[in-house]
Amino acid sequence: MTRQKKIFLEESEMPKQWYNLAPDLPTPMNPPLGPGGVIVTPEMLAPVFPMNLIEQEVSQERWIDIPEPIREMLVQWRPSPLIRAYELEEALGTPAKIYYKNEGVSPAGSHKPNTAVAQAWYNKEFGIKKLTTETGAGQWGSALSYACAQVGGIECKVYMVRVSFDQKPFRKMMMETWGGQCVASPSTETQAGRDILAQFPDTPGSLGIAISEAVEAAVSDPTGETRYSLGSVLNHVMLHQTVIGQEAKKQLKKVGIDKPDIVIGCCGGGSNFAGISFPFMYDKINGADIQIIGVEPTSCPTLTKAPFVYDHGDVAKMTPLLAMNSLGHNFVPAPIHAGGLRYHGMAPLVSAALRDGLMEATSVHQSECFEAGLLFAKTEGIIPAPETTHAIAQTIREAKKAKEEGKEKVILFNFSGHGLMDLVGYNKYINGELKDYAYPESEIAENLRKIEGYPMPK
Ligand SMILES: Cc1ncc(COP(=O)(O)O)c(C=O)c1O
């Protein structure tokens, strides 16, 4: 047997620093804005996040050291394997070489623990006793519950988007097994939740609503020992995920590949995409020819159809205004099965990378994604999360294109998580019960009318 399926790194080869894209962007980032358009200062964010993470949020350092206790937690599952998708390549009859970084090997089943352990550790260092958060698919809530258990001495409270809460009861059980608490959002526990329920009693919920609840719960704790934690979108979350792409680079080098031709990741808030792609954007900024593609659902077309604007990260407008691609903070997505991709905004760093031409974006319907997920499961064996199937669907498109062109391209994609808790979605697809939704342009325009008059980013 001469071919090598999996490429591993030693634990000692795990990155010792995170890569920050912000200082390398061709156009400087637009700062977050508070009420009246004033630039948000670190002190203004202090009721929501601990100062050590705020420092990372605003950092212009290119490389930031990973503290040793965080590296010790990361090695529970890192470095994650890079896998050559030989069986998928054969099924497609493509000359392309397909590699995927398997982030599904983490305890919670996705890339999310990469930032969860870091955030829990920094909060504990700062003296925080409780973290509140939202979760879409349940991956992030599980990851943070796991991380709080690892760090010890921090409670974790999760507001889970109603539709996912109903579709994925085992995610709540995972959170509780690690000692976290999980409620469906909107809940009656917060003013933001009660207001939404009064207006829309049957709402399926949204990430924007769940974020409002989690932020409110954090800032209204009279002890001052609770902070809010976000699983995507923010600069420090993108930063913590860059271990993925850094490892992938070393692993490709081990099999003699200097650079991939194409890098692909699915995009919800942008974090797993940032994780795999930012270290390659660094190379691209320095002259390498690499095509970098973010993939999103056609039902939530943040990168492909939404404008680059200043908008809130949540429905109740509790967050500052962030410069990002946004479908409008009032956006309530269709209940597609990729729960983690149903967010109205996009990470400011990813939005800026799109604006600066460092990446391109595309969208896929959920039926094409599930079809890709089934092919992947039957060939490579692992059942992907519905979010991850977006990256796989685009990889298949590119592999077919390589076949038509007769080109032996190297395609790298991020396998952001496994789908073992998402089988209800697969079952519906197999039974022909899933519908495709394209988000109507008219509704985007309607949502965006609510942010008319907000400042415009550069
Ligand atoms: C497996 C998986 N992939 C992707 C995502 C999308 O999030 P992000 O864009 O922050 O990576 C999620 C979010 O819940 C997820 O669970």
Looking at residue 340, which CATH number applies to its domain? 3.40.50.1100
The answer to whether residue 100 is domain-embedded is yes
For residue 363, what are the domain limits?
68-109+235-449
What would the mean pLDDT of 32-45 be, rounded to a whole number?
Answer: 94
**How many angstroms does the Cα of residue 47 sit away from the middle of ligand 1?**
26
Bridge partner residues of 6 (DSSP) = 83
Q: Is 137 in the pocket of ligand 1 (CB under 6 A)?
A: yes
> Which pLDDT band holds residue 372 (cuts at 50, 70, 90)?
very high
Q: Is 417 in the pocket of ligand 1 (CB under 6 A)?
A: yes
**How many angstroms does the Cα of residue 453 sit away from the middle of ligand 1?**
31
The answer to whether residue 429 is domain-embedded is yes
Q: Is 386 in the pocket of ligand 1 (CB under 6 A)?
A: no
pLDDT tens figures, 362-371: 999 999 999 9
Q: Is 341 in the pocket of ligand 1 (CB under 6 A)?
A: yes
The answer to whether residue 442 is domain-embedded is yes
Q: Residue whose CA is closest, atom 16 of ligand 1?
A: 139
What would the mean pLDDT of 312-318 be, rounded to a whole number?
Answer: 90
The answer to whether residue 434 is domain-embedded is yes
Query: Phi first, then psi: what are they for 196, rounded to 5°?
Result: -65, -45
Percent of residues, the chain, with pLDDT higher than 90: 90
Q: Which atom of ligand 1 is nearest to the CA of 418?
A: 1
The chain-wide mean pLDDT, for the chain, equals 96
Nearest one of 58, 29, 30, 23 to 42, comparing CA atoms: 58
The answer to whether residue 251 is domain-embedded is yes
The answer to whether residue 280 is domain-embedded is yes
Burial of 57 (0-12, 13-18, 19+ CB in 10 A): middle
Say what the pLDDT of residue 341 is: 87
Say what the pLDDT of residue 334 is: 77
Q: Which atom of ligand 1 is nearest to the CA of 232?
A: 10
Nearest one of 119, 103, 111 to 48, comparing CA atoms: 119
Say what the pLDDT of residue 58 is: 96
Q: Which atom of ligand 1 is nearest to the CA of 136?
A: 14
What would the mean pLDDT of 171-190 be, rounded to a whole number?
Answer: 97
Residue 211: pLDDT over 80: yes
Say what the pLDDT of residue 245 is: 99
How far is it, in rounded angstroms, from Cα 261 to Cα 97?
A: 10
Percent of residues, the chain, with pLDDT higher than 70: 99
* Cβ neighbours around 13 below 10 Å, total: 15
Q: Is 271 in the pocket of ligand 1 (CB under 6 A)?
A: yes
Say what the pLDDT of residue 247 is: 99
**How many angstroms does the Cα of residue 271 sit away from the middle of ligand 1?**
7
Q: Is 419 in the pocket of ligand 1 (CB under 6 A)?
A: no
Say what the pLDDT of residue 2 is: 80
Say what the pLDDT of residue 57 is: 97
Bridge partner residues of 19 (DSSP) = 63
Q: Residue whose CA is closest, atom 10 of ligand 1?
A: 271
Residue 338: pLDDT over 90: no
Q: Residue whose CA is closest, atom 14 of ligand 1?
A: 340
How far is it, in rounded angstroms, from Cα 262 to Cα 457?
A: 29
Percentages (nearest 5) of helix, strand, coil residues in the chain: 45, 15, 40
Q: Which atom of ligand 1 is nearest to the CA of 341?
A: 6
Q: Which atom of ligand 1 is nearest to the CA of 140?
A: 14
Query: Phi first, then psi: what are they for 95, rounded to 5°?
Result: -80, -5
Q: Is 370 in the pocket of ligand 1 (CB under 6 A)?
A: no
Q: Which atom of ligand 1 is nearest to the CA of 417?
A: 1
Q: Is 384 in the pocket of ligand 1 (CB under 6 A)?
A: no
The answer to whether residue 78 is domain-embedded is yes
Say what the pLDDT of residue 337 is: 75
**How many angstroms does the Cα of residue 37 sit away from the middle of ligand 1?**
30
Q: Is 135 in the pocket of ligand 1 (CB under 6 A)?
A: no
Q: Ligand 1 pocket test: pick from 206, 232, 235, 325 the residue with the most ligand atoms within 8 Å of its Cβ.
A: 232
pLDDT tens figures, 214-247: 999 999 999 999 999 999 999 999 999 999 999 9
Number of domains in the chain: 1
Q: Is 269 in the pocket of ligand 1 (CB under 6 A)?
A: yes
Joined together, the tokens standing for residue 195 give 């207001």
Better-predicted residue by pLDDT, 136 or 20: 20
Say what the pLDDT of residue 316 is: 85
Spatial contact of 333 and 458, defined as CB atoms under 8 Å apart? no
> Which pLDDT band holds residue 443 (cuts at 50, 70, 90)?
confident
Spatial contact of 97 and 408, defined as CB atoms under 8 Å apart? yes
> Which pLDDT band holds residue 167 (cuts at 50, 70, 90)?
confident
Q: Is 207 in the pocket of ligand 1 (CB under 6 A)?
A: no
Residues whose CB falls within 8 Å of the CB of residue 14, separated by 6 or more in sequence, listed in order: 71, 74, 75, 78, 79, 243, 247
pTM of the prediction? 0.97
Spatial contact of 428 and 337, defined as CB atoms under 8 Å apart? yes
Say what the pLDDT of residue 440 is: 86
Say what the pLDDT of residue 441 is: 87
What would the mean pLDDT of 280-284 be, rounded to a whole number?
Answer: 98
The answer to whether residue 308 is domain-embedded is yes
Q: Is 260 in the pocket of ligand 1 (CB under 6 A)?
A: no
